[in-house]
């Protein structure tokens, strides 16, 4: 891919104007009260090279400095979404609004708490084309700082890797479908064919629902761990972590209460086995050392989540009970019919495949016909 760029970038034109460059990717960022993250995200995106792009930040009713910070970047367009239709989530409504304003043939949906490595956008576009993917999604490198993050995030992502193995997701006939909404690069033609986020607008877990639409329509998915492209710190406090995973865990794992019991049992068994192994070694009952393999198995499983050794050790020590608590809490919240996120409450009693009516979806994805940024003859 040609890495050369214009000496100066053109001003972002109004929708419907004729451009003299061909924008390849429209980057759409939904943002609600993201003043702690949006600056680093936009700095990493505006400095991308090797591809022509536009950036659209959809300010979803922020009450902090999110909009002000975003408007401080010259090459970023900040818009506000219309009020969501009944039952739509705020994020889906914001994404639909962003797509209406987007101009490119490829759409990158990414969260405000992500940081993108230099050159990653061009590499991702090249990878999507090389893999003939209609939807490419990366699972970002997870940055953890507080004790709660370091204890539970490796356990959760280890379980996600087991539930949704990337190599299986990439197999078109595996029946396993996944995507990570923190980084989804979609070919626009395929996205519009399946109905886009308007078709999953009532879904809490919109990324997996969108991927399922692509798979069901015969479109090609490509999913992998993307530490070479993007990283994120999902939650900064215990309250955010608890609320976020309460919203999602029951949807990610089909039997959350059973999984919670399994994790507690395996955690207790592994540490008991390690105790037996240590006791055996101390008393020269060397055959007992083999019990330590159970602890090593649990560590090996957590290690697959791609965290550092020290984080893995913290997780194996304290993570499974916290994970079990969050699973039970998520199950109870969904059983009660409501979850909350960023000051909004969502009814979940009619989740599991619910979609807007056809007229609602059609209304949402209608957009002003925009030229594909071709040079004027």
pLDDT in tens, 6-20: 333 333 333 433 333
Burial class of residue 99, CB neighbours in 10 A (0-12, 13-18, 19+): buried
The model's pTM: 0.85
Six-digit token pair at 213? 């639409």
Cα angle, residue 176 at apex, residues 173 and 178 outer, rounded to 5°: 125
Span 222-251, mean pLDDT?
A: 96
pLDDT at position 273 is 87
Flag whether pLDDT at 356 surpasses 60.
Answer: no
CB 347 within 8 A of CB 87: yes
Q: Look over the chain and give the mean of its residue pLDDT values, rounded to a whole number.
A: 87
Residue among 11, 14, 9 at smallest CA distance from 371: 14
11-54 pLDDT per residue, tens: 333 343 333 358 999 999 999 999 999 999 999 999 999 999 99
265-307 pLDDT per residue, tens: 999 999 898 888 887 777 766 666 777 888 898 999 999 999 9
pLDDT at position 370 is 38
88-140 pLDDT per residue, tens: 999 999 999 999 999 999 999 999 999 999 999 999 999 999 999 999 999 99
Residue count of the chain, please give it: 377
pLDDT at position 199 is 97
Q: Parallel, antiparallel, or unpaired: how do β-strands 53-59 and 25-31 relate?
A: parallel
C-alpha distance from residue 211 to each of 173, 217, 223 (Å): 14, 10, 10
152-181 pLDDT per residue, tens: 999 999 999 999 999 999 998 999 999 999
Taking the CB of residue 320, how many other CB atoms lie within 10 A of it? 26
pLDDT at position 349 is 67
pLDDT at position 331 is 96
Percent of the chain with pLDDT over 70: 85
Confidence of residue 375 (pLDDT cuts 50, 70, 90): very low
What is the separation of C-alpha 48 from the centre of its chain, rounded to a whole number of angstroms?
Answer: 20
pLDDT at position 294 is 84
Confidence of residue 2 (pLDDT cuts 50, 70, 90): very low
pLDDT at position 86 is 86
Six-digit token pair at 277? 């192994």
Cα angle, residue 208 at apex, residues 203 and 213 outer, rounded to 5°: 85
Flag whether pLDDT at 366 surpasses 60.
Answer: no
What is the separation of C-alpha 42 from the centre of its chain, rounded to a whole number of angstroms?
Answer: 17
pLDDT at position 338 is 93
Fold classification of 25-140+180-236+357-365 is: Spore Coat Polysaccharide Biosynthesis Protein SpsA; Chain A (3.90.550)
- The residue extents of the domains of the chain are 25-140+180-236+357-365, 252-336
pLDDT at position 290 is 74
Taking the CB of residue 136, how many other CB atoms lie within 10 A of it? 25
pLDDT at position 21 is 53
71-94 pLDDT per residue, tens: 999 999 999 999 988 889 999 999
Burial class of residue 353, CB neighbours in 10 A (0-12, 13-18, 19+): exposed
- Dihedral of the alpha carbons of 44, 49, 52, 54, in degrees to the nearest 10: 10
Alpha helical stretches, state H, the chain? 38-46, 66-71, 90-101, 120-130, 147-163, 166-170, 188-194, 206-216, 238-252, 256-282, 292-303, 309-336, 358-365
Taking the CB of residue 34, how many other CB atoms lie within 10 A of it? 25
Spatial distance between the Cα atoms of 39 and 71, rounded to a whole number of angstroms:
10
């Amino acid at each position: 891919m040609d890495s050369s760029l214009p000496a100066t970038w053109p001003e972002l034109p109004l929708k419907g104007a004729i451009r003299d460059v061909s924008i390849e990717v429209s980057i759409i960022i939904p943002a609600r009260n993201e003043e702690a993250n949006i600056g680093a995200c936009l700095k990493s995106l505006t400095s991308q090279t090797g591809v022509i792009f536009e950036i659209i930040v959809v300010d979803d009713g922020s009450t902090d400095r999110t909009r002000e910070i975003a408007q401080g970047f010259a090459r970023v367009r900040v818009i506000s979404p219309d009020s969501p239709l009944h039952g739509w989530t705020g994020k889906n409504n914001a994404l639909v609004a962003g797509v209406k304003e987007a101009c490119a043939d490829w759409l990158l949906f990414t969260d405000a708490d992500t940081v993108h490595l230099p050159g990653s956008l061009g590499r991702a576009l090249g990878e999507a084309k090389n893999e003939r993917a209609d939807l490419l999604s990366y699972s970002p490198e997870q940055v953890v700082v507080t004790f709660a993050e370091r204890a539970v995030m490796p356990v959760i992502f280890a379980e996600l890797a087991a539930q949704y193995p990337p190599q299986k997701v990439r197999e078109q006939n595996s029946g396993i479908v996944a995507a990570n909404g923190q980084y989804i690069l979609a070919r626009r033609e395929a996205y519009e064919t399946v109905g886009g986020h308007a078709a999953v607008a009532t879904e809490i877990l919109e990324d997996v629902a969108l991927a399922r639409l692509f798979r069901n329509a015969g479109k090609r998915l490509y999913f992998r761990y993307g530490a070479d492209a993007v990283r994120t710190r999902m939650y900064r406090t215990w309250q955010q972590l608890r609320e976020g995973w309460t919203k999602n865990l029951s949807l990610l794992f089909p039997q959350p209460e059973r999984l919670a019991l399994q994790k507690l049992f395996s955690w207790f068994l592994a540490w008991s086995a390690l105790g037996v192994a240590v006791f055996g070694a101390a008393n020269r009952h060397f055959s007992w050392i083999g019990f330590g393999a159970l602890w090593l198995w649990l560590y090996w499983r957590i290690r697959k989540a791609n965290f550092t050794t020290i984080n893995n050790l913290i997780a194996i020590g304290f993570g499974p009970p916290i994970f079990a608590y969050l699973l039970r809490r998520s199950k109870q919240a969904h059983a009660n019919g409501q979850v909350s996120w960023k000051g909004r409450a969502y009814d979940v009693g009619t989740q599991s495949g619910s979609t807007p009516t056809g007229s609602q979806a059609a209304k949402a994805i209608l957009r002003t016909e925009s030229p594909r940024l071709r040079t004027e003859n």
